[in-house]
Amino acid sequence: MTIRVGIIGATGYTGAELVRILSRHPEVELVALTTKSYIGKPYWEVYPHLYKYNRMTGEKMDLPYLLEACDAIFIALPHGHSMAVALEAAGRGVKLIDLGADFRLADYRVYEQWYRVAHVARELLPAAVYGLPELYRESIKDAWLVANPGCYPTSAILALAPLLEKKLIDPGTVIIDSKSGVSGAGRGLSLGSHFSEVNENFKAYNIAGHRHTPEIEQELGKILGEEIRVSFTPHLLPVTRGILSTVYAKLSSPVEQDELLELYSDFYREELFVRVMPRGMLPQIKWVAGTNHCDLGLVTDPRTGRVIIVSAIDNVVKGASGQAVQNMNLLFGLPEDTALAGPGLYP
């Protein structure tokens, strides 16, 4: 099998990570890397770490050509830019994996409220499958339009899914405290991600208003079977890669820590990319750097009746491009870990 792949928005960080992963994918032929900023420029000149791994040139997006030449298209663009592509692709037999937010929220009104953009492809929302393989694997296999999850939601949903499915926590007490590396802000220049602003600094941002909040609530609500409201606070770490989420919730009744660890181990037993840490070990972002893993650890606090779950991912891999390739593998019936297997770098 050869899967002909195009990447729209190939010169952002998620696009570059897609190229890095797909350059070693045995079943993929990259046929187009589109860009606005580097048209006509050799891709390796934009990202020299890919010198001799990719000999392509950045090109202007030609959607009719992409729809004819590709079996799968990754859309690595900010929100608001994927809807037009999906409308053109519908019914053409091409698989779309959207790394933006345009198809993550099932209710277009919620999307428009949080993203301040009119949703012009509402009719396609029922066809979109939320691309978290650990929860929606079978639906992803049959989809043509996959909404790749956000980075923060990936870490939070995987942290809470076993507890909510078993209704072991009070859903009204969930607090998600997340920290991300600077690459999550993208490659564009901005004061907030300037070295002098980030280095030796640590700050919260978008408190009670981050756009990933409704996505987290939507997916947790599906697991729980009812609406849920969470407190979600993101922070910016002075590191390049990684997300660490510390999640707090009140237990519905006392449960021993070992029982919960066994629950998590059973829930994720067949999952290639979720590692449940043994008692006494809590995840660190360095352990998952460069990998498609989500590491989970937990502690119970009998004094307060709470459970604390720690979740770590690489925001550019499991939080974006690695998960997108995992979804592509599912779409084409390949082993899920193709081009994604293996440990990360340490130290």
Q: Could you tell me the residue range of the domain that residue 13 belongs to?
A: 3-149+318-331
Ranges assigned E (strand) in the chain: 3-8, 28-34, 72-75, 95-98, 128-130, 145-147, 175-180, 203-204, 231-236, 243-250, 274-276, 294-301, 306-313
Residues 201 and 284 in one domain: yes
Residues 214 and 178 in one domain: yes
Which residues are tagged catalytic? 151
What percent of the chain lies above the pLDDT cut of 70? 100
Pick the closest to residue 338 from 275, 295, 292 (CA basis).
Answer: 292
Tell me which amino acid residue 7 is: I
Tens digit of each residue's pLDDT (9 = 90 or more) over 275-296: 999 999 999 999 999 999 999 9
Residues 245 and 221 in one domain: yes
Residues 207 and 308 in one domain: yes
In a domain, 137, yes or no: yes
Mark out the alpha helices in 90-212 (DSSP H runs). 108-115, 133-141, 151-165, 195-198
Query: Average pLDDT in the 73-80 region?
Result: 97
Query: Average pLDDT in the 137-156 region?
Result: 98
Query: Average pLDDT in the 156-179 region?
Result: 98
Query: Average pLDDT in the 159-176 region?
Result: 98
In a domain, 344, yes or no: no
Average pLDDT, the chain: 97
At residue 187 the predicted structure's pLDDT band, cuts being 50, 70 and 90, is confident
Compute the distance between CA of residue 171 and CA of residue 169 in angstroms, rounded to an integer. 6
Whether the per-residue pLDDT at 150 is higher than 90: the answer is yes
Query: Average pLDDT in the 158-163 region?
Result: 98
In a domain, 21, yes or no: yes
What is the 8-class DSSP label of residue 320? I
Compute the distance between CA of residue 268 and CA of residue 244 in angstroms, rounded to an integer. 19
Residues 297 and 175 in one domain: yes
Is 239 in a helix, a strand, or coil?
coil
Tens digit of each residue's pLDDT (9 = 90 or more) over 36-72: 999 999 999 999 999 999 999 999 999 999 999 999 9
> How high is the pLDDT of residue 188?
83
Tens digit of each residue's pLDDT (9 = 90 or more) over 189-236: 788 888 999 999 999 999 999 999 999 999 999 999 999 999 999 999
In a domain, 337, yes or no: no
Compute the distance between CA of residue 326 and CA of residue 314 in angstroms, rounded to an integer. 14
Q: How many domains in the chain?
A: 2
Rounded to 5 degrees, what angle do the CA atoms 309, 151, 155 make?
15
Residues 291 and 189 in one domain: yes
Query: Average pLDDT in the 253-270 region?
Result: 98
